[in-house]
Amino acid sequence: MASTRKLSTEEVNALIEGLDGDEEDSTISDGIDDSNVRPFKFGSDDLSLMGDYYALRMINERFARFARSVFLPMLRLQPRISSFPPEVKSFDEYAANIDGFMSMNISRMEELRGNMMMVIDPSFISILTNAYYGGKIEPLKSRRSEFTTAEDRLIELITKGLNKVLQDAWNDLTPTTITYQSREINPQFASFVDGTDLVIICSFVIQLPNTDAASFDIIYPLQILKPIASQLRSRVQSDISYDDETWREEMEKAVLEIPLRIKAKLSEPKLSMKTLINLKQGDVFPIQIGEGVEILMDEELLFRGEIGEVSGQAAINLTSRIRKI
């Protein structure tokens, strides 16, 4: 049975002083260095308090590489896409800093039990549409408040393609199925999250020739990523890591697969200038094929050989190596 005793007068007074909001908080030192102690607000969703989400940055880098293939059929080139470190803001704060007319595409991340949103600038949509239908890569200068039918169709293609490569980019960390849900053009009417909810903003910039860089954002509600926060903080590799020996082997293998054009010199006839000038269609002049055939690459003699036949096709049997590659 636990022992009991009454508090002394001094102990009661100490408790009362501790509850008094006008008094300074007492500190317990006990030799502990509190110079690095930061106040923590309970209920805060500040990203800095949860870690740097290293794995999410790696996912963004992988997605940026994959996304180039989505824009290739439209731009007829693979643009350079760069990712920025994730930011945390309330959705209201984010919406206040973008235009009132945007392509806001909401998709479901099934395994994470929540939605994400892809926000694409309309000027970039116009560039893609113009290029897709054979025009130049240049922005549409007029301001508007709705997309054309052609742009709507292109937005569907972009969203489907980017959702697929985003799903692939997530697979190494946690497999997830991303399915398109809806689209909105005004941030005020986007039924994505409550305005006060915190979201993680992943921004991407696309370098295009002869025009300003374009951009788009992927927005995740912080709430749906909390269950996998420990995974997102893990120091996973962005791609397969190779040691020096493995890298050398892979490089050698790649080099050995490079196609090279070689030619076999059967004969090198000599003609006089008079004969060459008088040649016309249908003329025939004799050539002599010697026993040896020269094999060249880039006009460099590599082998000598003999003409033969294999399976009904002309072939050359190498008889000697003249020079090593």
Can you read off the two tokens belonging to residue 203? 């921004």
Q: If you average pLDDT over residues 111-123, what whole number do you get?
A: 92
In the three-class reduction of DSSP (H, G, I as helix; E, B as strand; rest coil), residue 39 is classed as coil
Output phi, psi for 321, to 5 deg: -100, 130
Any idea what DSSP says for residue 6? P
Output phi, psi for 217, to 5 deg: -125, 150
Q: pLDDT value at position 104?
A: 93
Q: Is the pLDDT of residue 78 over 50?
A: yes
Nearest Cα to 106, choosing from 202, 8, 178, 213?
A: 178
Give the C-alpha separation, 164 to 241, whole Å: 24
Contact residues for 205 (Cβ-Cβ < 8 A; gap 6+): 81, 82, 84, 213, 214, 215
Q: Is the pLDDT of residue 113 over 50?
A: yes
User: Who wins on pLDDT, 100 or 12?
Assistant: 100
Judge contact between 316 and 295, C-beta under 8 A. yes
Average pLDDT, the chain: 79
Q: pLDDT value at position 145?
A: 81
Kindly indicate the confidence band of residue 219, based on its pLDDT and cuts at 50, 70 and 90.
very high
Contact residues for 148 (Cβ-Cβ < 8 A; gap 6+): 129
User: Who wins on pLDDT, 240 or 156?
Assistant: 156
Q: Is the pLDDT of residue 296 over 90?
A: no
Provide the β-strand partners of residue 183. 105
Q: Is the pLDDT of residue 260 over 80?
A: no
Kindly indicate the confidence band of residue 7, based on its pLDDT and cuts at 50, 70 and 90.
low
Judge contact between 152 and 144, C-beta under 8 A. no
Q: pLDDT value at position 100?
A: 83
Give the C-alpha separation, 73 to 128, whole Å: 10
Can you read off the two tokens belonging to residue 70? 């989505």
Domains in the chain, start-ordered, CATH in brackets? 47-240 (3.40.1550.10), 260-321 (2.30.330.10)
Please report, for residues 37, 174, 203, 304, the alpha-carbon distance to residue 31 in angstroms, rounded to integers and kept in the order given: 14, 44, 45, 86
DSSP states of 165-219: HHHHHHHTT----EEEEEEES-GGG--SS-TTSEEEEEEEEEE-TTSPPEEEEEE
Contact residues for 245 (Cβ-Cβ < 8 A; gap 6+): none
Q: pLDDT value at position 174?
A: 87
Q: If you average pLDDT over residues 298-324, what whole number do you get?
A: 80
Give the C-alpha separation, 138 to 155, whole Å: 17
Kindly indicate the confidence band of residue 180, based on its pLDDT and cuts at 50, 70 and 90.
very high
Burial class (CB in 10 A: 0-12, 13-18, 19+), 216: buried
Q: If you average pLDDT over residues 87-105, what whole number do you get?
A: 90
Percent of the chain topping pLDDT 70: 74
List, for residues 222-257, the tens digit of each pLDDT value.
Answer: 999 888 888 887 765 444 444 445 556 666 666 677
The model carries a pTM of: 0.58
Q: Is the pLDDT of residue 41 over 60?
A: no
